Amino acid sequence: MKSSRAEFALSGGTPSFSEAIPFGQYHVPDEAGYRSVLERIEASGYFTNHGPLAREFEASLAEFLGVAHVVLCTNESLGLSMALKGMQVDGRVLVPALGYPELVESVVWAGLEPVFCDVDPETHQISPRILEAAAQDGVGAAVIMEMWGNRCDADGLMEVAQRCGLQVLFYPADGFGSMRGGRQITRPDQTTLFSFQSTRLLSTMEGGCLATDDDHFAAVLRNIRSSYGAGEPTAVPVTANGRFSELQAGLGLWGLERIDSSLEHNRALCDAYREAIGSAPGLTIYEVSEGVQSNHQCLVLRVDGERSGLSRDDLLRMLEAEHVVASRGIGPCLPEVPGFRAWATGGRLPVAEQLAHELLLLPVGSGMSVESASKIGGLVASAGQVLS
């Protein structure tokens, strides 16, 4: 706990940490864990293209998610493009203005035109009301991004989507392991896209999967991914190289076996942050919606610079000086990304624009101790009063 200006590293004090605290999850194997993965690859002689570990990982994921079909793919961006191609979307694709650039890229690579909509100020997601307002002429599908380990009101969204004739893809980018209504998958009758990128609770370094109960659409996805694992030939508009390597699958199987303890560790870190930050003025901790069990994927703060005394970017600089790597979580609001402006045809997007300047994600993950979380939380809580 630093209680005077001089103690903060920004003012010449000693940094709180001698080594940088990285941002992100990084639930990766130790040496014995890697050895067990590599021994299995060595024994099978398969290295990629729907080998035995990939098949086992698909089956384990299907069981964990409670879904009939899981289709692994190289990374989540290609998975999103594959799903949109398979959906044969007729029209533009609605995407939230608060999201990752990959979201937009995947729509464009699928040969479709994105269009941005705003997000809900509480959930940071597309709500049924927003979907209805944005379902203007020419929108054929919506990508519902589920943020910060929260999950969306899928049933409410599907009611609107069906009424407005929209197809929907659910994309809990960082939501693997969180649940709503006891369900891991967003809507079993639709398609849910998960990411296994290295900052996720379940990591294959890069990778992702599509999950659905729909037998026909699963066959379409497998045929689009092509090569081994395509299963029965099914007419598809295009095929792709969406191969998942055995090393990715081995890392995934290792992580899935340990998902409960990874989640518990993150929960303990988030609890420590909450306790340390408490009700510091101007800092609001993001909470998942009622009925959602979070995966504690991240600790997200919304910083009201007027009330806290320091802006989000001031806090990032303070933490950097203390050797803590925090994150804006998301870059600029998507319409501000170079090349993306043309797709902001629906006017201003005030909530997404404001959130993009106010969000601060604190480090969580396997490499961090609860003590570090308490210390970082204390820095964030006191900095506003001491440094402003």
- Is residue 369 involved in binding a second copy (CB under 8 A)? no
State the number of binding residues for a second copy (CB under 8 A): 46
- Is residue 212 involved in binding a second copy (CB under 8 A)? no
Please, what is the minimum distance in Å from the beta carbon of residue 74 to a second copy? 6
- Is residue 320 involved in binding a second copy (CB under 8 A)? no
Which region among 30-38, 55-63, 152-160, 278-286 touches a second copy (by CB under 8 A)? 30-38
Among 7, 15, 91, 108, binds a second copy (CB under 8 A): 108
- Is residue 13 involved in binding a second copy (CB under 8 A)? no
- Is residue 336 involved in binding a second copy (CB under 8 A)? no
Burial class (CB in 10 A: 0-12, 13-18, 19+), 372: middle
Contact 154, 180 (CB under 8 A): yes
Which region among 157-165, 236-244, 303-311, 346-354 touches a second copy (by CB under 8 A)? 236-244
Among 1, 59, 133, 238, binds a second copy (CB under 8 A): 238
Please, what is the minimum distance in Å from the beta carbon of residue 131 to a second copy? 25
Q: Given the complex with a second copy, which of 66 and 101 has the nearer CB atom?
A: 101
Please, what is the minimum distance in Å from the beta carbon of residue 5 to a second copy? 30
Please, what is the minimum distance in Å from the beta carbon of residue 135 to a second copy? 26
Residues 32-71 that bind a second copy (CB under 8 A): 34-35, 38, 45, 47-48
Please, what is the minimum distance in Å from the beta carbon of residue 50 to a second copy? 12
Q: For residue 95, what are the β-bridge partners?
A: 116
Q: Given the complex with a second copy, which of 182 and 233 has the nearer CB atom?
A: 233
Among 57, 71, 75, 326, binds a second copy (CB under 8 A): 75
Among 2, 69, 106, 265, binds a second copy (CB under 8 A): 106
The C-alpha atoms of residue 78 and residue 336 are separated, in whole angstroms, by 23
Q: How large is the angle between the packed helices 31-44 and 52-65, nearest 10 degrees? A: 120
DSSP string for residues in 292-348: EE-----EEEEE-HHHHSS-HHHHHHHHHHTTB--B-SS-S-GGGSTT-GGG-TT--
The C-alpha atoms of residue 221 and residue 84 are separated, in whole angstroms, by 10
Q: Given the complex with a second copy, which of 13 and 91 has the nearer CB atom?
A: 91
Give me the amino acid identity at 100. Y
The C-alpha atoms of residue 221 and residue 244 are separated, in whole angstroms, by 14
DSSP string for residues in 131-188: HHHH--TTEEEEEEE--TT----HHHHHHHHHHHT-EEEEE-TT-TT-EETTBSSS-T
Q: Given the complex with a second copy, which of 280 and 361 has the nearer CB atom?
A: 361
Lookup: tokens for 62: 């299907």
- Angle among Cα 187, 174, 155 to the nearest 5 degrees reads 20
Q: Given the complex with a second copy, which of 56 and 132 has the nearer CB atom?
A: 56
Q: What is the CA radius of gyration of the chain?
A: 21
- Looking only at the bridges linking them, the beta strands covering 92-96 and 139-145 are parallel
Contact 71, 111 (CB under 8 A): no
Q: Which residue has the tokens 């706990």?
A: 1
Residues of the shown chain interacting with a second copy in the complex, contacts defined by CB under 8 A: 20, 22, 24, 26, 28, 31, 34-35, 38, 45, 47-48, 74-78, 81, 101-102, 105-106, 108-109, 111, 197-198, 203, 205-206, 226-227, 233, 236, 238-241, 243, 245-248, 338-339, 367
